[in-house]
């Protein structure tokens, strides 16, 4: 198989190239010096986080493999991807900040004259092999080669749905820089990225790229790509600040009090990109629900509704038991209760946070009915306040 090395008998085992490389040498020495590394592994803020599904395997399997539930976890039609054009991306943003969600956690942020690409995943599967693993539910909105020059690629952590080897190999042929959490640079060097193009940061460390300051900030998650994870690569959220604008990308994280500290130190933000998909009661410590995602955004903004919230980590891959469209619907409700502006672009649809936000619930046209309603009590049928639209939506959720 391509990407495997064949060992001498009894000495080693085949290892896919997509597994990357473990940190060693001075990189490992730096990891051991990190204040966030203890007992041989990186530690989460707020104490240990459950990184494996809790509860019984039977309960998880019953939900995950239920036929009806499985149908709800994928769109029932073609996802309406925006036909991003070169003209869209070549024209400078009028306000100085433009954001384009490419699907899942991949986002192009054009900020104060520079271009930042977060967690680029252009591969067909988030997997170490091309024939198995979660497959894209919609195509990438624009070919990677047509994206144009990127000043810096920012990686949140080394899971396959955030760090995609084929995408990194393609970007390695450009002159872009890479900002990554501590230890993740070992993977990129293994795939052909020169050490001089890496900015490898621990939490609270910053680097300058042109007129931008990039700061790795804490997140509550975990790491690993191989069959045996050493937990020697850090995970992070990121703050990117220009002369006029600043944005936040959460990476993958559970909700924790540290969002308030990040907001106090670096906020408020013109836009936050917040993970609020692939959540489940089986792993509550490492992914956020829509309600928690909205709360995290408000924490980052100093407790006030403001700046645009872009929901990420949903819609592109089937990674959790919840219905495919549930993150969109529930975020719309949670943000509405908080009075918070949320952008709901189609994948590939550019928008400027200071301008008119895309708010149409585009997923409804291709979503199976959502069985579980939002936590608000439904209006009783037949009351004066009930509209047909309310009943239709309550019946579908």
Tokens of 383: 């009351």
Torsion of CA 127, 192, 314, 44, to 10 degrees: 90
358 to each of 165, 314, 351, 361, how far by Cα in Å? 31, 17, 7, 9
Residues 80, 103: Cα–Cα separation, whole Å: 12
Q: Which among 294, 259, 291, 257 has a CA at the least distance from the CA of 274?
A: 294
> What was the pLDDT predicted at 46?
87
ω into 268 cis (within 30 of 0): yes
Reported pTM: 0.90
pLDDT in tens, 167-185: 999 999 999 999 999 999 9
Residue 174: CB atoms within 10 A of its CB come to: 14
Q: Residue 57: what pLDDT? A: 63
Q: What is the pLDDT of residue 90?
A: 85
- How would you classify the pairing of strands 37-38 and 41-42? antiparallel
Q: Consecutive sets of 10 residues in the chain, 397 residues long: mean pLDDT of each?
A: 38 76 96 95 88 67 70 91 83 96 98 98 94 94 93 98 98 97 98 97 98 98 80 95 98 97 98 96 93 98 94 96 94 95 97 97 90 56 35 33
pLDDT at residue 373 in the model:
67
* pLDDT tens column, 330-374: 999 999 999 999 999 999 999 999 999 999 999 999 998 776 666
Report which of 108, 119, 121, 104 is spatially closest to residue 166, judged by C-alpha positions: 121
Residue 255 is predicted with a pLDDT of 97
pLDDT score of 379: 41
């Amino acid at each position: 198989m391509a990407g495997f090395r064949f060992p001498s008998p009894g000495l080693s085992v085949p290892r896919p190239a997509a597994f990357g490389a473990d940190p060693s040498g001075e990189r490992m020495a730096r990891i051991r010096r990190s204040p966030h590394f203890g007992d041989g592994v990186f530690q989460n803020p707020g104490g240990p986080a459950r990184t494996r599904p809790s509860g019984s395997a039977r309960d998880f399997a019953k939900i995950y493999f239920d036929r009806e539930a499985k149908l709800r976890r994928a769109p029932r039609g073609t996802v309406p991807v925006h036909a991003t054009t070169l003209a869209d991306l070549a024209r400078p943003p009028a306000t100085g900040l433009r954001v384009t969600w490419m699907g899942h956690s991949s986002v192009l942020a054009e900020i104060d004259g520079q271009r930042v690409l977060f967690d680029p995943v252009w591969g067909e599967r988030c997997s170490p092999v091309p024939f198995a693993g979660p497959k894209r539910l919609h195509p990438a909105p624009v070919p990677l080669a047509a994206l144009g020059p990127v000043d810096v690629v920012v990686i949140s952590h080394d899971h396959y749905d955030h760090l995609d080897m084929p995408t990194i190999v393609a970007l390695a042929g450009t002159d872009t820089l890479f900002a990554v959490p501590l230890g993740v640079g070992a993977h990129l060097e293994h795939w052909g990225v020169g050490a001089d193009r890496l900015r490898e940061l621990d939490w609270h460390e910053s680097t300058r790229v042109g007129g931008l300051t990039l700061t790795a900030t804490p997140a509550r998650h975990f790491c690993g790509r191989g069959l045996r994870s050493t937990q020697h690569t850090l995970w992070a959220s990121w703050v990117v600040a220009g002369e006029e604008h600043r944005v936040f990308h959460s990476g993958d994280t559970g909700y924790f009090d540290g969002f308030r500290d990040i907001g106090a130190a670096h906020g408020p933000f013109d836009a936050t990109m917040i993970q609020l998909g692939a959540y489940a009661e089986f792993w509550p410590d490492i992914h956020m629900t829509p309600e928690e995602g909205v709360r995290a955004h408000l924490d980052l903004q100093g407790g006030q509704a403001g700046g645009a919230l872009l929901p990420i980590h949903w819609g592109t891959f089937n990674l959790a038991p919840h219905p495919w469209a549930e993150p969109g619907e529930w975020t719309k409700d949670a943000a509405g209760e908080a009075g918070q502006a949320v952008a709901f672009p189609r994948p590939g649809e550019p928008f400027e946070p200071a301008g008119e936000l895309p708010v149409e619930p585009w997923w409804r046209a291709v979503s199976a009915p959502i069985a579980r309603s939002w936590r608000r009590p439904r209006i009783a049928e037949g009351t004066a306040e009930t509209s047909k639209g309310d009943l239709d939506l309550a019946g579908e959720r």
